[in-house]
């Protein structure tokens, strides 16, 4: 929610991004009580983790040295004695929102979860969401995925916000330090996967929301090529470039979306000025707390050496198998969070005004006719934005990809996905909202409501699809309902797993016809 109220610029994206981890909060502990210690020797030194009944967990393992502000990551400083890897490392500096926040710049750590036994296993590297402003790798418990899917899961911390994505004419790596951190983590995986039972020649990068955006960046970044062999993108297709402000007006420069170097450096100069600085040298003297007072949103910058082209073009350059998809009711997270934080429910009049601002007078009547208020204005508005902003780009992205690489698409569609337990429920059904699928794959913060038996079965099916894809580049097998390449997408819902005509469900032809 924005500081002025509403789900729009500097606000809607704050709520959405902070929700990218099920609304990030304090890290939950390892689920299974340790029965013994386990030492693994990394290339920097030994780490001592914990062993559960069917898995091992190593947390807070440095993949790089404590970073110099706005400089490329450097190798970790070696150590000799076994390092305690039973607790997460620091979360990267981020503002207080739904969590206590953090002022730590020493934060470049990974968490490694493995099956109890195994060698040369596929490795899945998870890049967390949070709008490039919030979150940490430790907020995703991967014990079930590792044990059930027989894979090694690595979750990554990377610099966020002003620390990870500030661009400025005086900075050589303008806007992409967080992506450089992710590349350093992938290089660490290549060097150390075998020590944890993983195969460095079989690495999948995966992420949700801004984590998916990160994957888009690596699909086009020259220095990322060869560091991974497959890609999973959840809830933000690379071709997603639009976002509505609180009143429905499309944002000219959507906050938290990749931007050109010219736009990003102009933003960086404005940030410096607001903090009383004329140059980067002055910014380096500011404390983390002072830097975190900025209300600007940061994201990767293209037109740079690390990211030469817009990640929206990833579908034209990808050379690895891709699994991607969205949730059926992505945008219900927006009005859901607005209500959870005290804003009144959307009215029919406000809905009509948002649609008019969003599509303009030439298409207003057509959209209102296609998306009438039959249950609640929030459900109607959410359907409009989900179809226009998420679903249409997903179809476009898929069509770009399928001509070049093996491509599999899904739609998470559980209408009864549990809402976040640390927030009040809105008055309307939240359905398969943005981030709702995460609790089916991971043990995540702020999802205390247990899954039903049917939902747990769905979670096991999803883990099966994700990890089979990580192993072979094909999610099919083990007698599970078959995913077909191309359209339609594969629906994932309790008791209803199978093909669905995604383009028709989300009125792709209508939105294709609206500029």
Cα Dmax for the chain: 69
Confirm if 367 and 359 have CB atoms less than 8 A apart.
yes
Distance CA 161, CA 299 (A): 7
Annotated catalytic residue 235: no
| Residue 430 token pair | 């939240």
Distance CA 451, CA 218 (A): 33
Distance CA 269, CA 112 (A): 38
Which of the residues 265, 330, 411, 437 is marked catalytic?
A: 330
Confirm if 216 and 68 have CB atoms less than 8 A apart.
no
Write the DSSP assignment of 417-465 as a string of letters.
PPPPTTSPPPSS---S-TTTTHHHHSEETT--SPPPHHHHHHHHHHHHH
Annotated catalytic residue 434: yes
Residues 6+ apart with CB under 8 A from 63: 76, 108, 109, 110, 156, 184, 185, 188
H or E, element range at 383: helix 377-385
Helices marked H in 72-197: 143-149, 161-165, 177-192
Give, to the nearest 10 degrees, the angle between helix 177-192 and helix 210-220: 80
Name the residue among 153, 145, 158 with its Cα closest to residue 196: 153
Distance CA 259, CA 153 (A): 30
3-state secondary structure of 48: strand
H or E, element range at 17: helix 12-18
Give, to the nearest 10 degrees, the angle between helix 332-340 and helix 377-385: 140
Exposure string of 262-287, with b = 16+ CB inside 10 Å and e = fewer, is: ebbbbbbbebbeeeebeebeebeebe
Annotated catalytic residue 330: yes
**Terminal CA-CA length for the chain:** 28
HSE at residue 393, side-chain half, CA atoms within 13 A, is 22
Which of the residues 128, 168, 434, 490 is marked catalytic?
A: 434
Write the DSSP assignment of 155-181 as a string of letters.
EE----HHHHH---TT-TTTT-HHHHH
Q: Which residues are catalytic?
A: 209, 330, 434
């Amino acid at each position: 929610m924005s500081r002025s109220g509403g789900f729009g610029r500097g606000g809607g994206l704050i709520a959405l991004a902070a929700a990218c981890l099920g609304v990030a909060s304090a890290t939950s502990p390892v689920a299974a009580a340790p029965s013994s210690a386990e030492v693994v020797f990394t290339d920097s030194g030994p780490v001592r983790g914990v062993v559960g009944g069917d898995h091992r967990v190593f947390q807070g393992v440095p993949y790089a040295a404590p970073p110099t502000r706005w400089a490329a990551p450097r190798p970790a400083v070696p150590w000799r004695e076994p390092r305690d890897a039973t607790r997460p490392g620091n979360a990267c500096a981020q503002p207080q929102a739904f969590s206590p926040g953090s002022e730590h710049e020493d934060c470049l750590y990974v968490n490694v979860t493995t099956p109890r036994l195994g060698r040369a296993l596929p490795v899945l590297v998870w890049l967390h969401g949070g709008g490039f402003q919030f979150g940490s790798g430790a907020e995703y418990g991967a014990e079930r995925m590792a044990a059930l899917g027989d894979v090694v899961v690595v979750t990554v911390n990377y610099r966020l916000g002003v620390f990870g994505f500030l661009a400025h004419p005086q900075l050589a790596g303008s806007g992409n330090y967080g992506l450089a951190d992710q590349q350093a983590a992938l290089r660490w995986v290549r060097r150390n996967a075998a020590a944890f039972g993983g195969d460095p020649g079989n690495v999948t990068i995966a992420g949700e929301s801004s984590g998916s955006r990160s994957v888009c960046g690596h699909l086009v970044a020259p220095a990322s090529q060869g560091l991974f062999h497959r890609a999973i993108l959840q809830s933000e297709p690379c071709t997603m470039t639009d976002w509505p402000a609180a009143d429905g007006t499309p944002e000219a420069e959507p906050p938290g979306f990749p931007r050109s170097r010219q736009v990003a450096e102009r933003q960086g100069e404005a940030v410096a000025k607001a903090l009383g600085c004329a140059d980067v040298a002055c910014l380096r003297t500011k404390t983390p707390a002072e830097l975190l007072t900025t209300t600007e949103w940061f994201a990767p910058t293209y037109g740079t050496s690390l990211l030469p082209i817009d990640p929206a073009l990833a579908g034209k350059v990808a050379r690895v198998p891709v699994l991607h998809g969205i949730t059926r009711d992505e945008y219900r997270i927006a009005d859901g969070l607005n209500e959870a934080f005290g804003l009144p429910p959307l009215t029919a009049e406000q809905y009509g005004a948002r649609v008019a601002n969003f599509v303009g007078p030439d298409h207003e009547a057509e959209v209102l006719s296609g998306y009438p208020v039959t249950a609640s204005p929030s459900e109607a508005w959410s359907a409009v934005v989900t179809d226009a902003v998420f679903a249409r780009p997903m179809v476009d992205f898929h069509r770009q990809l399928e001509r070049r690489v093996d491509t599999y698409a899904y739609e998470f569609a559980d209408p009864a996905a549990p809402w976040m337990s640390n927030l009040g429920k809105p008055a309307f059904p939240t359905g398969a909202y943005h981030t709702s699928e995460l609790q089916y794959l991971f043990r995540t913060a702020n999802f205390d409501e247990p899954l039903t038996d049917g939902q747990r079965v769905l979670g096991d099916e999803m883990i099966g699809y994700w990890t089979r894809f990580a192993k072979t580049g094909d999610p099919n097998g083990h007698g599970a309902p078959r995913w077909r390449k191309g359209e339609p997408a594969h629906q994932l819902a309790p008791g209803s797993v199978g093909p669905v005509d995604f383009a028709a469900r989300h009125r792709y032809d209508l939105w294709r016809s609206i500029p």
